[in-house]
């Protein structure tokens, strides 16, 4: 079974340009998450999709970031225009919907990440 795949693995752009990161979750996983790690710091939550709906986007830094999940399958994260502080590794994760007492928190399956460098 294929894992979570992310593309590109590394992107180098100049300040002011646009970049789009893509995530393909594990087939059948309705939960999809985006996280970001700025160098040397913690991995921070950006947002959470359940199928095609945004469940929680409280971690999105500002309106330069736009996430979509077409048809509840793959997701894209666009940064426009990119700033220097956007540099970091963007992780995507997916998980199946759970029910019962877990309150929705279970194992997340992570991709390898997309490293973004803004010059």
Which residues are at the interface with another protein (CB under 8 A)?
3-4, 31, 33, 35, 40-45, 48, 55-56, 59, 91, 93, 102-105, 107-113
- CA–CA gap between residue 9 and residue 1 (Å, rounded): 20
Q: Which is nearer to another protein, 32 or 79 (CB)?
A: 32
The least CB distance from residue 92 to another protein, in Å, is 9
Tokens of 104: 């929705």
- CA–CA gap between residue 63 and residue 23 (Å, rounded): 20
The least CB distance from residue 116 to another protein, in Å, is 16
Q: Which is nearer to another protein, 17 or 74 (CB)?
A: 74
The least CB distance from residue 44 to another protein, in Å, is 7
């Amino acid at each position: 079974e294929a894992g979570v795949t992310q593309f590109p693995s590394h992107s180098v752009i100049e300040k002011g340009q646009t970049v789009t990161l893509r995530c393909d979750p594990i087939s059948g996983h309705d939960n999809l998450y985006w996280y970001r790690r700025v160098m040397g710091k913690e991995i921070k939550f950006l947002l959470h999709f359940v199928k095609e709906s945004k469940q929680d986007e409280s971690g999105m830094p500002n309106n330069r970031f736009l996430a979509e999940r077409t048809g509840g399958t793959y997701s894209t994260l666009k940064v426009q225009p990119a700033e220097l502080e956007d540099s970091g590794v963007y992780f995507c994760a997916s998980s199946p919907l759970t029910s019962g007492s877990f309150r929705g928190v279970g194992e997340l399956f992570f991709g390898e990440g997309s490293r973004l460098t803004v010059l």
